[in-house]
Amino acid sequence: MNPLPALRAALTRYRFSALAFVLLVAAGVTLSVAIVSQERALRSGSARAADRFDMIVAPPGSRTDALMTGVFLRPGSGQLLSPALTAALLNDGRAGFVSPLAFGDSYRGAPVVGVTAALVEHLSGGLAEGRLFAARHEAVVGAASSLKVGDTFHPAHGVHHGGEEHGGKDDLNAHEASLSVVGRMKATGSPWDKAITVPVEMVWSLHELPAGHAPGSAQLGAPFDAAHTPGIPAAVVHTGNLASAYKLRSAYNSKESMAFFPAEALVQLYAVLGDMRQLMSLLALVTQALVLLSIIASVFILFRLLMPQFVTLRALGAPRRYVFAVAWGFTALLVGLGVLLGLAGGYVLSFAISSWLAHLTGVALQPTLGEAEWLMALAILLVGLVLASLPAWHMQRVPLAAAMKEY
Amino acid sequence: MSQDAAHAGLGARAVHAFFPDAGGVPIRALHDVSARFLPGQLTAIVGPSGSGKSTLLHALAGIVVPQQGEIVFGQTVVSSLGERQRDAWRLAHCGMVFQDFRLIDELDALANTLLPAQFQRARLPAVLRERARELLALFDVPLRAGPVARLSRGEQQRVALARALLLDPPVILADEPTASLDPDNGQRIADELRAMAQAGKTVVTVTHDDKLVALAGQVLRMKSGQVMSPSPHTAAATLSA
């Protein structure tokens, strides 16, 4: 049998209602898919961003705050490690390298971060262009920076705030120091792509702090002079192997500092994210169920309007299963189209949110349609197909003789 | 004419049918109705509204199952068949024509004509498509006029006739086929029904149309669910004879 002609006729007759049903289902699926996809993109994006940060040492407090400071360049509490501990940490020979993180300046919305060349090399995995800084007035920019190799700029005092532009010649907060860009990092998929890295000694001296070395010294990086080293908000520790990583972690977990692997803080974040995703997914699924049920109820009403057509089919000799096929196909097609459209919409929405978040945070997010989304869409589709059988079953059960009189 | 029709007539034997009213009380719709409808015969069922004409037609189509009595077609007791078999029997043996055409407005004339063939076939053979085109051409229905709702009422009823004839059924059952047509179109449909009977089909029509009654070889007058008078021209019942 071929129910398509009758199905096409029913869809044509009620095309606007059908379109509304499809869009309703699509909206529900879009939300569900986008939530799951986005949560996964956030996980993988943040994990990728933190991948090259072996260990972070920061003043005691929130690991999440320290993670946000070190990996995501969003300094928070303002607490610093003591100068003595800072010097000890930066000179600790058990680590592959230890880089301080020093904040306080920015240029046209991009943070200027004081680090060591070793960290820049490590994060970037070799530069995309130019060379590492070798003098205090040199800088290496992130892959997405608007500055080019050879450019000079005046960093301005103040911590960057999302998109606020300051720095530059006309900015009263600008330091007099002029820095030259000598290299560009490869893309890291993290906020560091927009950052400007400079020798930590430069940041300290710009803020009139001891510059980590004896006055007049032009030295960059370790060893730092304990007598001339200021406190820092956080340090990134590169550990050679797992054993030394745990030793260092243990050594710097004290009253004065905390040391942790970024994954530890991320796991806590993911737990919160996961809980939120579960809650939002549940809400989305409940919404989806309500949408499906309301559509089925509307289809019952719609089919009453289509009763003369169904009665005609039966009067002409169509078996009950033909009527069932037409009626079921009508609803099933709407649900199927809605789910497909919702999958596409979910991906597009997730992509849009990711782009927005990437612009906002610098964390590269790559949304995908994973197994969970496909399974969820499949589940919604299956439930929809089963529910579609209810009005179809009702239609094919209508007694023909009585219906002939009524319709 | 199909082989069945060459040997079979359609008949009602002492048929009783009841319908429950709104309160569930059974109302007599047909009472002891017996009649024969022969191949090559155009039968007109006449009578006042509510006299059971349409119920008899529906009983002949296997839509209404009588509580007593039988509907027979050749050796087949249609009224004893299960619903599925009656559906299949109706599809194969009865072409149905209705007062309000009962076309699918959104489909074109060809798709409407082909509709009964879709009930059992996933793909239509080319010969059926060709037959549908021939029938529509025979009835002067334009093929490329878009949805049938755009056709005139006369053309729509002729599409319904083409649909009824598509599978070459031996029986044509028409319920007030001229009632909603103007006199010219009504006459044309009446002539077509008569021509079908002359071609050997068993044609039964419920009608109030005197022109159609005048063409009938057998007239059943019904009142209160009963056949009140035998056909005035039963002897000439078979037009093709």
**Complex ipTM:** 0.88
Q: At which of A260, A283, A304 does a domain end? A: A260
User: Which residues constitute the domain of residue A138?
Assistant: 55-260
Distance, in angstroms, between A303 CA and closest chain B CA?
A: 15
A281 Cβ neighbours under 8 A, 6+ residues apart: A32, A35, A36, A376
Chain A residues near residue B104 by CB distance under 8 angstroms:
5-6, 9, 309, 312
- Are B119 and A322 an interchain contact pair (Cβ–Cβ within 8 Å)? yes
- Are B83 and A308 an interchain contact pair (Cβ–Cβ within 8 Å)? no
Within this chain, do residues A197 and A226 fall inside the same structural domain, yes or no?
Answer: yes
Chain A interface, best mutation among B71, B102, B107, by max A CB count within 10 A: B102
Within this chain, do residues A22 and A87 fall inside the same structural domain, yes or no?
Answer: no
Least confident residue range of A11-25, A164-178, A279-293, B3-17: A164-178
- Are A1 and B107 an interchain contact pair (Cβ–Cβ within 8 Å)? no
**Considering only CB atoms, which residues of chain A are within 8 Å of chain B?**
1-6, 8-10, 12-13, 308-309, 312-320, 322, 400-402, 404-405
Phi, psi torsion values for A138, nearest 5 degrees: -110, 155
Distance, in angstroms, between B62 CA and closest chain A CA?
A: 9
The whole-angstrom separation of Cα A5 and Cα A303 is: 16
The per-residue pLDDT for range A253-281, each reduced to its tens digit, is: 999 999 999 988 888 888 887 787 788 77
pLDDT at B2: 44
The DSSP result for A314-362, as a single string, is: HHTT--HHHHHHHHHHHHHHHHHHHHHHHHHHHHHHHHHHHHHHHHHH-
Within this chain, do residues A193 and A72 fall inside the same structural domain, yes or no?
Answer: yes
Within this chain, do residues A173 and A241 fall inside the same structural domain, yes or no?
Answer: yes
Least confident residue range of A117-126, A140-149, B6-15: B6-15
- Are A3 and B118 an interchain contact pair (Cβ–Cβ within 8 Å)? yes
Nearest residue, CB atoms, A309 vs list B61, B98, B104 = B104
pLDDT at A244: 84
Within this chain, do residues A30 and A137 fall inside the same structural domain, yes or no?
Answer: no
Chain B residues near residue A401 by CB distance under 8 angstroms:
19, 58, 63-65
Chain A interface, best mutation among B105, B106, B107, by max A CB count within 10 A: B106
- Are A3 and B90 an interchain contact pair (Cβ–Cβ within 8 Å)? no
- Looking at the whole model, is its pTM more than 0.90? no
Chain B residues near residue A9 by CB distance under 8 angstroms:
104-107
Residue B7: pLDDT band by 50, 70, 90 thresholds? very low
**Eight-state DSSP code of residue B149:** G
pLDDT at A168: 53
Q: Does B153 or B181 have the greater pLDDT score? A: B153
Number of structural domains in chain A:
2
> Do you find a cis peptide bond into B26, omega within 30 degrees of 0?
no
The per-residue pLDDT for range A184-230, each reduced to its tens digit, is: 999 998 899 999 999 999 999 988 898 888 888 888 988 999 899 99
Within this chain, do residues A182 and A234 fall inside the same structural domain, yes or no?
Answer: yes
Nearest residue, CB atoms, A1 vs list B83, B105, B118 = B118
pLDDT at A315: 94
pLDDT at B5: 42
Chain A residues near residue B156 by CB distance under 8 angstroms:
none
Of all residues in chain A, the percent with pLDDT exceeding 90 is: 49
Distance, in angstroms, between A25 CA and closest chain B CA?
A: 26
Nearest residue, CB atoms, B63 vs list A4, A13, A315 = A315
Mean pLDDT of B223-228: 91
A115 Cβ neighbours under 8 A, 6+ residues apart: A99, A100, A101, A102, A197, A198, A199, A200, A236
The whole-angstrom distance between residue A230's C-alpha and the CA centroid of its chain comes to 35
**Considering only CB atoms, which residues of chain B are within 8 Å of chain A?**
19, 54, 58, 61, 63-65, 83-84, 87-88, 90-92, 94, 96, 98, 102, 104-107, 111, 114-116, 118-124, 163
Assess contact for A34 and A277: CB atoms under 8 A. no
Is pLDDT at A5 greater than 50 in this prediction? yes
Mean residue pLDDT of chain B comes to 88
Within this chain, do residues A248 and A294 fall inside the same structural domain, yes or no?
Answer: no
* Residue entry with tokens 């994990």: A47
Nearest residue, CB atoms, A5 vs list B63, B90, B111 = B111
Is pLDDT at B130 greater than 90 in this prediction? yes
Chain B residues near residue A407 by CB distance under 8 angstroms:
none
The per-residue pLDDT for range B95-107, each reduced to its tens digit, is: 999 888 899 999 9
Q: Does B5 or A171 have the greater pLDDT score? A: A171
Count other Cβ atoms within 10 Å, centred on residue B21.
Answer: 9
The per-residue pLDDT for range A346-384, each reduced to its tens digit, is: 999 999 999 998 887 778 888 888 888 899 889 989 999
Is pLDDT at B12 greater than 80 in this prediction? yes
Mean pLDDT of B142-171: 91
Chain B residues near residue A406 by CB distance under 8 angstroms:
none
- Are B115 and A320 an interchain contact pair (Cβ–Cβ within 8 Å)? no
Nearest residue, CB atoms, B106 vs list A1, A13, A317 = A13
The whole-angstrom separation of Cα A271 and Cα A196 is: 32
pLDDT at A174: 62
Is pLDDT at A166 greater than 80 in this prediction? no
Within this chain, do residues A219 and A132 fall inside the same structural domain, yes or no?
Answer: yes
Mean pLDDT of A156-181: 64
Mean pLDDT of A42-67: 88
Q: Is A21 left (phi over 0), alpha (psi -120 to 50) or beta?
A: alpha
Q: Is A226 left (phi over 0), alpha (psi -120 to 50) or beta?
A: alpha
pLDDT at A195: 93
Least confident residue range of A134-138, A170-174, A321-325, A389-393: A170-174
**Eight-state DSSP code of residue B147:** B
Mean pLDDT of B29-58: 93
Residue A337: pLDDT band by 50, 70, 90 thresholds? very high
**By CA distance, what is B112's nearest residue in A?**
A5
Q: What are the strands, taking DSSP E only, across A28-167?
A: 55-58, 97-107, 110-115, 129-130, 138-141, 152-153, 156-157
Residue B241, beta-bridge partner list: none
Chain B residues near residue A7 by CB distance under 8 angstroms:
none
Mean pLDDT of A166-180: 66
- Are A13 and B105 an interchain contact pair (Cβ–Cβ within 8 Å)? yes
Distance, in angstroms, between B20 CA and closest chain A CA?
A: 10
Within this chain, do residues A84 and A187 fall inside the same structural domain, yes or no?
Answer: yes
Within this chain, do residues A249 and A279 fall inside the same structural domain, yes or no?
Answer: no
Within this chain, do residues A169 and A248 fall inside the same structural domain, yes or no?
Answer: yes
- Are B121 and A400 an interchain contact pair (Cβ–Cβ within 8 Å)? no
Mean pLDDT of B126-138: 93
Q: At which of A260, A288, A311 does a domain end? A: A260
Within this chain, do residues A187 and A41 fall inside the same structural domain, yes or no?
Answer: no
Collapsed DSSP state (helix, strand, coil) of residue A363 = coil
Mean pLDDT of B157-172: 93
- Which domains are present in chain B? 3-98+167-236 (3.40.50.300)
**By CA distance, what is A15's nearest residue in B?**
B106
Is pLDDT at B25 greater than 60 in this prediction? yes
Mean residue pLDDT of chain A comes to 88
Q: At which of A228, A260, A292 does a domain end? A: A260
